[in-house]
Structures are given as structure tokens and as C-alpha cells.
Structure 1
């Protein structure tokens, strides 16, 4: 029988250090779990309030009766936002004081909204639990490495800053299908990076388009491979996200291509790319383009696979911008532009079914060598629990820094910052819709803000080939550049539908979301910001008249149609499939701008 050696001072010190490290790790994990659960609970309560029209409680104690379960949930109100960006303390069961974790609250809410469908109850509960667990991991790992790695561009840093995600979504960080091991590589929140997975396809099963001067999509793929992979003679290189590559080889249509020798799996190779906030769009600071892949993970509400009409839409809009719209837009609003999607390439199945092998080529206006760096609006306003329980967002840091340097009050600086945001982001988007009937689905994640050297908005960029809408009554103004553009691109829909979508994405999510961020972070009074927004909308309505009824609707309508992310999730709807007008649940929201306008 062996015995342990006697403990020495060095051994005791090592044991103590190990114990201290373990205790610190445990504390870090507990802190991360608490922060993630608090964020998820607030999201659920915000969604419930918005989607069921709960009024502000008189005593700053929110009560949510849930008769289907026979309980009432309570939560102290830390901040009540006119636009819905409320803040709450921990939730508990009324009467017993039993604390409610986010997953337990999700189960109660799911029973209330979908009691007749146990599968929907289980689905929402499981996804909230998954999203919360992922968020806790992001907080824990980022807290251990708070500084951005050397060489990180401002663009990429903002893309990686959405630690808790959309504040009015029940499952903003759900990544169904990702293993824990994959999470680190494929998550922007963990600063992941990885090499692409390459396939080679026979030209007979390739579809592609390119507006790049003198360059085909096929040729660009060869350039991006950088001699790290060789395609069999006579074939075309096609990259894939590594997770997608693993998934698609099990699909019958792809398996048939592989078996027939029309497709070759070449494996991973080449330089590493970083995921941006959408997870599936990848960036390299030294590359001329970004790549947007299909990714069959369910992220928020949808499986993120490219549809052919979206690929075609991006190239069509690029041709439109190149034909003259881009110059016209920049002449009217010099600081605003659209990030282009000038090419795409895809592999077609012999039976016509989706292969999941399709790539959007997106321009990269923000390489390391470019002094102008635009940052994602959602990343700019994002809370940062990874930096501490009261750590400021980048927006708060910018506003407070400006106030300190200029000697002005934080409130004055925040109001000025918001005025500039309206001027450089909201106004160009609504001008484009009024003048040319081209609507942009410019929610905060699709909006990039160009900041000047002091941190004030000086311009903006829009990105996303999914989010272009063409108005039947006004997009004819584009035909002088590209005849009939938009008619066959899947979003040529009635103005009423476009107005509803833009009222949500541009008005509620983006503009009012910025109001909520400034207010909930203690930087400005939301009512004062709402008056400024109403003034801007009034000027736009006067300038454009009937061509921009949306501005009047946003400014004066008693209610606005608002996407209900909780109900959309409960009912298992995929926002990328089905008719445009029926892809999400929409509810009526009391319009906080109406009072401001009066």
C-alpha cells in the first residue's frame, strides 16, 4: 500500500493556489450564470409586456398573472422605458417568493400562450435554456479575456460585442445544433475563427453570377483559396462553413452528387475567417470581400440557409447601385451607403432540391487598411456583462467621454448624438424609400454606424440581401437605371406591407431602439429623444408628402404594427419561409411617438 509524500511548504502553496483558482472559477461561473439568467429573464418580461400590452405598474412592481398555471409572477421595476427597453430585478412567484430562473419563467409563459401544444411549450423552454446557457459561457469566457486581441478592427470588435443579443427576443443566443466544442470556433461572441471547408464541383452543377469587373465568382473562389487547396482538373472550387459542410454531406441530394463524381469533398484549408454578428457571414481584415454562407442552424427564429432569390437580389441591387443609384444616394447623403453583394456561387442538385452549398460574396469596405470603420449599431448599444455587472456599453462610453472632453452634460451630448444618428442613418433610409420606392430592412444589426474621431455619428451603411423591398407605386423611378428591377426578386409587394415592415425594422427596432438604449443606460430622457425623433419625422413628412406616408404613420398613428418575437418563437415560425406577409406574428403596439408629436 503506497502512501502520499509528506506535504512541503511548496506543496501546500500549490494546493492553496489550486484551491483558490478553483474557487475563482466557481465564482466566475456563478457570476456568469447570474448575469445570463438576469438578461434572459428581462428579455422574456420585455417581450411579454410588449406583446400583451401590459401597462406601467403604479408601484414599480411588475405583476404578471398567468392563470393557465395558477401563478402570478412579480419582478421589481428598475427602469420603465416608454419604448419598451425596461429593466427588472429578479423574478419570483407572488405569495411564496420562490425565485424564478429564466427557463422556469419561459415554461410558465409557454403554458400561457400554447397550453394546448406540449411540443411548443417544450420547444420554447428548451430554447430559452439553451440561449441562457450559451450566454453564460460567452460572459464567462470573455470576462477572462476582456481586451480585444491586437489587430482587431473596430468593425470586427463591434460584431463580437453582442454578448446578450437582441433585448426583445426570448432566445437571442440559442444555437441549436452547435456542440460546446464547436461553440468556441464558430461564435463571434467568443472571437472564434476557422478555415473554410472546400468542395470542388463539376461546372455542370454550378450556378453563379458576378458584377465584379473582369472577375467571375468562380475565379474569385480560386483567389480566396490562396493555393491552399487544389481542385481536380476541370472543376470549380466552392467554399462552405465547416458546420454546414459536415451537415450537408448527409443530405441525399449532396450524397448523390458526391457518388456521381460531380462533387468532391476537399476538407478544410486556407487562412482563418472570423464570424460576424450574424454567425454565418465571415470576415477577414486582409480580404477584399466577406462571405455569407448557408448555415442550417436555427438562430433566433430561422434556419439560416440562403435562398436563390436572395442571391439574385443582392447582385441585382449591386447592378442598380453601379448603374447610378449609388452615386445619387451618396450625392444626397454623402455619409450613407449600401454594402454591396456583387457575386454569388452555388451548387445545384440534379433533382432541384437545396444543397446548402451557396455563397454570397459581400464587399468588405472595412479592411484593416481602411481608416473609416463602421460599427454595428446593435453592438454599439449592447450591454457588456462580461466586463462587469455595471460595465457601460460602447455607446455609453462614447457619450460620457464626449461629455467629459467638452464640458457639456451627458444629457446634452446624448441628445446631440441622437440627432446625428437621425440625420445620418434614419433620414437616408426613409429618403431612399420615399424617392425611389426601395425599402431597406434596416434594423440595428443590419445598420452600421460610421463614427467620427470623437465618436459621433458621421455616416452609415446598410447591409443584407434579404432586406430589400420594392414598391409597386414608386420603384418605377429605378427603371431608368435597370428596367423592371425588383419585379422578380421576391419582395415586390404592396406598399402597405412594406410600410408595416419598415415601421417595425426602421422605426421600432432601430430608431426607437436607440431611444431605449440611451434612456435605459441613463444617458438621456426618452421623452426628450422621442420629441426629437418626431420633429425629424415631421420634416420628412412635409418634404415627401404622400410618397412617405410611413413618416406620418410613425409620427402620429395611435398604434404601430410590431413584430412579436415571443409569439413568433412560440408558434415555431421561420421568418425566411412562406409568404412575406405571414412569416412572423405582428401585434399592435401603442405608439410612443404619437404623444411626442402632439
Structure 2
């Protein structure tokens, strides 16, 4: 389907260049191997040149990391407290509990929330006083949270902010020294390991409690970490497993798959091979349930073995180029707001969705949208006690690996995140580099290219997700890290993928139809959710986090006028109302939207993987930018 044309951006980058003629400061020499190549990068566009000196490019990596974290905290606060756009160039953030305020320079005000801020100052402080750093800002904002948080959660926030800054500084330092991958690097892995700054609306996007510095070097995707897996052998009397993984018409068990991945590892009789994250394996030895299984001879610790695996952007999902499976491992490190150990219902859910799609739903979907699919999670292996109770942390989800070395699949979070590039003084996002290349190659204004790229993305990625909701009542938790766009050799969207065995919402209103497709669906996976909660979460994850977040990235990086892209999104939603999903109408008509509040969630001490889906996170009401 061809995207709906929209008018070009009104003068965002000056008059169009003549066809085939390079724009000032840009090269028409573009590597043809794929759009994520590093050689012969075009220079920054004129609009990019007009930006204030960006603190992300500060030569001191800790300064850059601290400033990025300050911006995250302030973006969260502005959104979660509904602070209005200031009349001038300074935002005043009242701090009533401390009897002062923050005065924040506004470099860019985003209609969708991706604001750019300068270093804040305390109101009344002498001109020579240093600006407020991120730890200070976090402490001041936590005091303002009142009854929603206590001193313990405020102190926890401050500590995790400091941890996130330290790790981000390490990532920036490493990437400045090693900005480019090898010429034969795996495209998918390169993209997965390029998310240096993390979620722009999260207070502690890179906090990882429990990892030492030496462990971080091995286990961090941002540091290009890699490591062999730690293996245990599980006696089949305590093995819990399910598989819908098929090859050449034959179903393979999870144990057969892990044995293949283990290579020449020797297993005791009547056991199955279970891979573990090395950090998790060490931590599990201190858990009584695991030590009892080891003492009883029902678990056998086989140690590290095999070729190295590489952490992807989620840290705990690992990838090995050429392997048939990726592995989603349990990892008890607290990342963002949660300890990342698989829940048994999530293991069931991955296999169940694969079976649901195989009932004929996938064929219907592919007929309508052949460029989009779900990355399947069709097998898992875990451990029970002899009495049949699940043992937390001893499990693995086996995920299809559909990406070959030449598949340019990149999650939207990585696409929009600034990072160092070889030979360039400024951090830029893959999105900015791609759009600049396309503008240089075609001789069109950057804003017009950005608008076309965005419309192609809506058709190739967003429309299929709306189809699945409208047709089957299955809403995807399609936030930017769960959503991958597949790019053609020039950098245009040509398809997409969704990944995450946790993030499915089966609409209660579609229960009967889904039961007819797959009898017993939801019995073990706990995936049916009321339509009201589904509407709220779907609007946030796909509408706000994904699409409005992408619009914000285009605007904050001076690639396009956000107002133009919001108009294009409204036009797309009008055409998408016929897909059957209630989301387009909700986004078009509702004056307000419910939005996840990452800072308030942290100050409430919530673990987003624990408890009922409707109370795992704090949600706030924000004005709908599509209605402004």
C-alpha cells in the first residue's frame, strides 16, 4: 500500500536543492551495503547546525551522561505533572516542598514530549553557582511526590539515578573509542547493541542493580559484551516444558533444541540441558530450592560451555549470529523497574500465541500485511520442585531467530537514540543519518523525506498491528523496544516485527472467538484483559510510546516539524478506522489519553512484572496532542 502523500514541511530546511545536487555540508556518496553502514556519512543538515551546543557531545562522558539524565527526569516531570509550555525560553519547575524552584532553559519544546532542556539552576542561586546535577534534581523531585512515595523510595530513586549515570558514562566512553562495528558485523546485533541512552522518558534507563563493573563489561550490550552460557542438566522428573517448535513438519521438544545449542556438552542420563545466564547461575546457588535440587541429584551444574552469546537491548535476551534460536533468559538484576525473571504464565503465553497464529490467523494476517509478523516464542524449558511447584529463575524461552546477517531489522528505540559515529564530533541517531542520506541522494528537503519515511512506517508497521487487534482482538504491547522496523537497502521501511512473550492483551470481548480458534486459550497464560484496560494500554504502548515518541524524535532532532507529522498521523488514523480496532477512533476523538508515568511508578516502588496488569504501573492523564 502506498502511503498517503502529505505536503512538504514548510521551509524547515530552506528551499529544495536541485535534483541530484548535494545539500550544503552533505555528501552524495552513500555506502550501498545497507543503510546502517558507517562509511561516508553525510554531514549534519543546516537545521542540525543551528542547534545549540548539545551537552550530549560534551567531551567529558560523565557530564554528557548526567545532562542526559537531567533531561529524562525533567521530561518525566513535565509529562506526569502536566506542566504547560512556558511563554519564554525558561521553564520554571516549582519545588514547594523545598521552598524553591528549578529554572530550566528550553532548547526545544516538543508537542509529543521529547523536549530538549539545558542545565537547570536553582531559583535565587548566585550566577556563579553550578547547575543542578541529576542526583540533585532526582532528590528534589522525589520530595515533591508527597504521599505517593516515602523516604525509602526517594532514596532508592536517587541511588538508581546515580547508577544509571555511571553506566551511561561508561557506555559513551566505550562507543567514542569504538564507534563502528566490523565490516562483516551482524546488522541485527549492531542495532541491538546501539541503545546507549535508553528510554528518553524514564528516570533510570540504564540502572542495573547487582552488576559489578567487570560483569557489566561482559553482560552489557552497549559495551559489545559477549559470554558463554552456563549450563545445568535437569532430571526429567522435575523438568517442566512445552514446545510448538516445528521443523520440516516435525515438532521438536525444548530439550532437543537446547541440546543442539549446547553442542558437544555431555549430559547425564535422563536429563535435559538448560542454559542460564552466568550471573543468574551464580546467584541461584544461594537459593534454598536450588541447593536442595542439586543435593538430591536432580540438578547437575555443568558450568560455562560453548561459543559466546551476545546480549541484545533487553540485556537478558541473547543472540548468536547463525543460531536458529535466540534465548530469553531469567536475570534477577533489576533493570528499569523490574527484576527480569520469567514468570511461568509468560512462558505459556509465548507458545500459546504461536499456536494461535498457526490456526490460520497468521495466513490471514500475512495475506493482508505480508511484511509484518511476530517473532515467535514457541518453546520453553523450566524446573519444578518434586512436589510440582515452579522454581523461579531456572527457565529459558526459546525464540525464533528470523534474522540473517544481511537483515536490517532495528528496534525503534535504537533507531531514534543518539550515539557516536566514526569521524563525527556530534552524537546522532540512526534515524537522523538515514533521513539525511535519503535527502542527499534524492535532492529533496529533509522534512519531506522524514514525512514520507514516517508514512511508510505507519503503513508497514502500525497498520498491521491495528489489523490484528481489530480482526482477532489481540493487542500488542508494541512500545519502541518491542517493535522492529525492517529497512530496505536505502533505509526506507519495508516491513516490521513484534517481539515479547509478555506483551499480549487478549480482549475479553473476543474471548468466545479466540476460544473457537484455540480451545483452552488463556487457561495458563492469564492473557485475557478487560477491554477498558486493553484500550488504555494499547493507546499508550502503540499510540504514545511508539508513534508519538517517533514523532518526538523527528522533531527534537530537527528532522521534521512535529505539527506536520501529527497531521499526517491523524490522516492515517482516519483511514485506519475501518480496520476494526477501537484505537484509531480513541486517538482521534479523546481530548485526553492515559499515559504510563515512569517516574511515579519508580517512586511508588512498583515492579511492573508483579501483580495484576491494571495495577503494575502508575498511569496519569495527559492532553492528547492529536487534538490540539
Same fold flag (TM > 0.5): yes
Asked if 1:315 corresponds to 2:351, the answer is: yes
Separation in structure 2 between the aligned mates of residue 154 and residue 594 of structure 1, nearest angstrom: 38
- 2:188–2:407 contact (8 Å) kept in structure 1: no
Match of 1:20 in 2: none
Asked if 1:225 corresponds to 2:262, the answer is: yes
What SS class does the counterpart of residue 296 from structure 1 fall into?
strand
Match of 1:24 in 2: none
Match of 1:13 in 2: none
CA deviation map 1:139-195 (0-9, x unaligned)? 011111111134321111111111000000000000000000100110000010000
Moved more, 324-333 or 127-136: 324-333
What SS class does the counterpart of residue 445 from structure 1 fall into?
coil
CA deviation map 1:431-463 (0-9, x unaligned)? 110111011000000001011121011110000
Match of 1:7 in 2: none
Asked if 1:557 corresponds to 2:586, the answer is: no
Q: Offset of 1:66 from its aligned partner?
A: 0.6
Q: Offset of 1:386 from its aligned partner?
A: 7.2
Q: Offset of 1:353 from its aligned partner?
A: 5.1
Asked if 1:342 corresponds to 2:378, the answer is: yes
- 1:35–1:136 contact (8 Å) kept in structure 2: yes
Asked if 1:372 corresponds to 2:407, the answer is: yes
Residue of 163, 168, 175 corresponding to 1:135: 168
Kindly tell me: are residues 505 and 67 of structure 1, through their superposed partners in 2, closer, same or farther at Cα, counting changes over 3 Å? same
What SS class does the counterpart of residue 393 from structure 2 fall into?
coil
CA deviation map 1:194-222 (0-9, x unaligned)? 00000011101101111122311111111
- 1:254–1:355 contact (8 Å) kept in structure 2: no
Match of 1:89 in 2: 118
Residue of 134, 158, 173 corresponding to 2:191: 158
Residue of 61, 72, 75 corresponding to 2:90: 61
Match of 1:109 in 2: 141
- 1:349–1:355 contact (8 Å) kept in structure 2: no
Residue of 251, 258, 262 corresponding to 2:298: 262
Separation in structure 2 between the aligned mates of residue 594 and residue 302 of structure 1, nearest angstrom: 34
CA deviation map 1:490-545 (0-9, x unaligned)? 1201111000000000000001011001111100000110011111111122x14x
Separation in structure 1 between the aligned mates of residue 526 and residue 518 of structure 2, nearest angstrom: 17
Asked if 1:298 corresponds to 2:353, the answer is: no
Separation in structure 1 between the aligned mates of residue 268 and residue 523 of structure 2, nearest angstrom: 39
Separation in structure 2 between the aligned mates of residue 442 and residue 398 of structure 1, nearest angstrom: 23
Kindly tell me: are residues 95 and 536 of structure 1, through their superposed partners in 2, closer, same or farther at Cα, counting changes over 3 Å? same
Kindly tell me: are residues 461 and 280 of structure 1, through their superposed partners in 2, closer, same or farther at Cα, counting changes over 3 Å? same
Asked if 1:271 corresponds to 2:303, the answer is: no
- 1:155–1:376 contact (8 Å) kept in structure 2: no
Separation in structure 2 between the aligned mates of residue 46 and residue 378 of structure 1, nearest angstrom: 17
Q: Offset of 1:487 from its aligned partner?
A: 5.0
- 1:284–1:367 contact (8 Å) kept in structure 2: no
CA deviation map 1:288-315 (0-9, x unaligned)? 1100001001100001110111001100
Q: Offset of 1:549 from its aligned partner?
A: 2.3
Separation in structure 2 between the aligned mates of residue 155 and residue 117 of structure 1, nearest angstrom: 42
Match of 1:576 in 2: 609
Match of 1:440 in 2: 476
Residue of 84, 100, 114 corresponding to 1:71: 100
Match of 2:433 in 1: 397
Separation in structure 2 between the aligned mates of residue 82 and residue 251 of structure 1, nearest angstrom: 49
TM-score, reference length from structure 2: 0.87
Separation in structure 2 between the aligned mates of residue 118 and residue 353 of structure 1, nearest angstrom: 35
Separation in structure 2 between the aligned mates of residue 437 and residue 353 of structure 1, nearest angstrom: 30
CA RMSD of aligned residues (A): 1.6
Consecutive unaligned residues in structure 1, runs of 5 or more: 1-27
- 1:297–1:304 contact (8 Å) kept in structure 2: yes
Consecutive unaligned residues in structure 2, runs of 5 or more: 1-56
Match of 1:358 in 2: 395
Asked if 1:592 corresponds to 2:620, the answer is: no
- 1:139–1:386 contact (8 Å) kept in structure 2: no
Separation in structure 2 between the aligned mates of residue 181 and residue 201 of structure 1, nearest angstrom: 29
- 2:326–2:399 contact (8 Å) kept in structure 1: yes
Asked if 1:494 corresponds to 2:530, the answer is: yes
Separation in structure 1 between the aligned mates of residue 117 and residue 334 of structure 2, nearest angstrom: 28
- 2:408–2:488 contact (8 Å) kept in structure 1: no
Separation in structure 2 between the aligned mates of residue 61 and residue 39 of structure 1, nearest angstrom: 18
What SS class does the counterpart of residue 306 from structure 1 fall into?
coil
Match of 1:126 in 2: 159
In the comparison of the two structures, how many residue pairs are matched?
A: 562
Alignment of 1:198-213 (within 5 A): 198-213=231-246
Q: RCO higher in 1 or 2 (8 Å CA, sep ≥ 6)? A: 2
Moved more, 572-581 or 380-389: 380-389
